[in-house]
Amino acid sequence: MPEAQEALRRRVMEVIDNGMKPAAAARTFGVSRQAIHNWRTRRSRGGPDPLKSRKHGRPPCRRKRRSV
3-49 pLDDT per residue, tens? 888 889 999 999 999 999 999 999 999 999 999 998 898 888 886 57
Fill in the amino acid letter for 40. Answer: R
**pLDDT above 90 for 62:** no
Q: Residue 32 carries which side chain, given as an amino acid letter?
A: S
Quote the pTM value. 0.70
CA distance 59 to 27: 34
DSSP 49: -
Determine the pLDDT at residue 43: 85
**pLDDT score, position 58:** 84
36 or 50: which leads in pLDDT: 36
Half-sphere CA count of 57, side-chain side, radius 13 A: 4
